[in-house]
Amino acid sequence: MISPCKSAERPAGRHDLVFVNPQGWRAMLDPHGDLACDPLVLYWAELGWPTIRRRALPSETDGLALGLPLPPSAGKKRLSFLAGLDDIVAVARPPSLRETHASAPPCWRPTLDRLEELALRHSAPARVFGSLAWESMTGLDYVTASSDLDLLFETRPETDLDRLVADLAAIETEAPMRLDGELMRADGAAVNWREFSAGASELLVKCIDGATLLDRDRFISGAPRS
């Protein structure tokens, strides 16, 4: 189960789950009249399901920018909303590997077990976003035969990132699905694990407020973006 915290306890960052109260949800739908006719979207908040924090557009200066990917059965649409800050009731990190295990296709589960062992060995907790996360949180059919497993490794200054991505690549060679995802520092700065694994001297570093190139060694050392 996801363990949300009250929104006042921490700001919402990239990949964070954001829970909106039903009244605020209906207000969010007002600018999207057609969505009010979609039962799945209309009752989303009442079912206790989250949205995801997204990067705000330059024109979105008020409220919190949220996204909602619908399942393939609903056209796989990606919806965008602005929520009033007073309507945010909780924020949570994405689900852990263990929390998504039961919702994964049976052929994925041995890989999830290996990834959980990897995360423990490297002291880099692994979380899941993307299709498997949404299926585990809602019970709706998000995962398809072509789905990737999207991983978020929460790294620490002492994490050996080169060893971590090498071990991750080794697991992928025997996995039934593609492993995608990011390495995220405690400050929220994140890089794609494949790009890091490729050994580029500069990395595209993503944060909730944008993306920039940063020297590889500076990312590893925890240097701020500048």
Residue 86 banded pLDDT, cuts 50, 70, 90: very high
**Polymer length of the chain:** 226
pTM: 0.91
- 209 has catalytic annotation: no
Catalytic one among 16, 87, 113, 150?
Answer: 150
Residues 202 and 40: their CA atoms lie apart, in Å, by 43
191: tokens are 């890089």
* Position 211 pLDDT exceeds 90: yes
The active-site residue, picked from 148, 160, 167, 180, is 148
Is residue 167 part of the annotated active site? The answer reads no
Q: Give CA–CA dist 65/14, Å, rounded.
A: 11
Instruction: Determine contact, residues 95/137, Cβ cutoff 8 Å.
Output: yes
> CB neighbours of 170 closer than 8 A, spacing ≥ 6?
none
Strand 202-207 versus strand 210-215 pairing type: antiparallel
pLDDT of residue 37: 80
pLDDT tens by residue, 164-198: 999 999 999 999 999 999 999 999 999 999 999 99
pLDDT mean over 123-134 = 97
Tens-place pLDDT, residues 75-85: 889 999 999 99
